[in-house]
Chain A
Amino acid sequence: MRINNIKEYFKSISIKNMVFNNFWLKLIALGIAIITWFYVNGELTRGIRV
């Protein structure tokens, strides 16, 4: 991959698009990820205690 192409790629990234494209989908996914992590972490910690 040429350096120019990589530069072009990074130039094309828009923070606004990254945040607001499919905003609700991202938010729901984040919610599920947090719930899953806490649930699994809780189960694992409980397992270790037992």
Chain B
Amino acid sequence: MIEMLNVINWKAIVEILILWFVIYKIFLFLKGTKAVYLLRGIVILVIAFFFFQKTDLYVLSWLLTKFFAFFLILIVIIFQPELREGLIRLGKRHIFYIEPKQEEIEKIIREIVGATSIMSKKRIGALIAIKREIGLKNYIESGVILNADITSELLQNIFFPGAPLHDGGVIIDGVKIVSAGCLFPLTDNPDLERALGMRHRAAVGLSEASDAVVIVVSEERGTISLAINGQLTRNLSPSDLQTILKGQLRSKS
């Protein structure tokens, strides 16, 4: 034990801190994704590996070592989309990230919740994505660029049945509706209810592919749902939506 403590110097502390930061960021990234199940599997295998080594079960230990080598290649293939997204996130982080002002955020939330509430009552389907840190350029370009101020009336107008842009999603960046009629990626999450339509699947899909907050209003039932990090929260009341949005889009300044 004392021998172990002897090796601790400032370089060791720096190395441990860097390791800690990287591991923590990986955990944060994996939190709430299906990769968590994979992580659990890895933890079990690692514990088994150490157990086999300590108990001198050489054959099992050798087999696990060989399996790990294949496993690394398997991980790259199976989790190619997650790995790609992780690298994108890594590149998108800004050290001095400045969030919009609190008053602006509150105004945006008021307008969105107002529009959502009315559309929910009238059973008008809607799909609204609010961009956070990760860029949504590809999806923005798939729709019609608007760059318009956010107002409840404009949102209702976009999603009005029969309107040219009502079928796709709207993307909000900061205080602007940047694009409408956008195509979002559909999720392949098997845990989602089969009864959910394409709009809900697109919302979950976009929230998996980015850190965007995506609001869905069901055309059939008029219910309001919210997708964040691949998780869909359904049957929200306008006040629930407002509270969650305030928490998710809160300005730290």
Contact = CB atoms under 8 A, between A and B. Distances in A.
B7 A32 contact: no
Interface stretch (B12-20, B56-64, B188-196, B241-249): B12-20
Interface string B193-209: 00000000000000000
A15 interface: no
Of the four ranges (under 10, 10 to 19, 20 to 34, 35 or more), the interface on chain B belongs to: 10 to 19
Contacts of B252: 12, 14
B73 interface: no
B96 A33 contact: no
A15 to B, nearest CB: 13
A29 B12 CA distance: 16
A5 B95 CA distance: 11
The 5 closest A-B pairs by CB, nearest first: A33-B19, A29-B24, A33-B20, A29-B23, A12-B252
Interface string B136-161: 00000000000000000000000000
Nearest to B17: A33
Contacts of B20: 26, 29-30, 33
B98 A33 contact: no
Interface of B: 4, 7, 12, 15-17, 19-20, 23-24, 27-28, 31, 96-98, 252-253
Interface string A16-35: 00000010011011101110
Given A5-B98, A30-B20, A37-B19, A12 B253 contact: yes
Interface of A: 1, 5-6, 8-9, 11-12, 14, 22, 25-26, 28-30, 32-34, 36-38, 41, 45
Interface of B is mostly: helix
Nearest to B50: A39
A32 B16 contact: no
Interface secondary structure of A, over-half rule:
helix
B44 to A, nearest CB: 15
A13 B159 CA distance: 39
30 contacts: A1-B96, A5-B96, A5-B98, A6-B96, A8-B253, A9-B97, A9-B98, A11-B253, A12-B252, A14-B252, A22-B24, A22-B28, A25-B24, A25-B27, A25-B28, A28-B27, A29-B23, A29-B27, A30-B20, A32-B23, A33-B16, A33-B17, A33-B19, A33-B20, A33-B23, A34-B16, A36-B19, A37-B16, A37-B19, A41-B12
B96 A9 contact: yes
Contacts of B17: 33
Given A22-B28, A25-B31, A33-B23, 14 more contacts: A5-B98, A6-B96, A8-B98, A8-B253, A12-B252, A14-B252, A26-B24, A28-B27, A29-B27, A30-B20, A32-B23, A33-B19, A37-B15, A37-B19
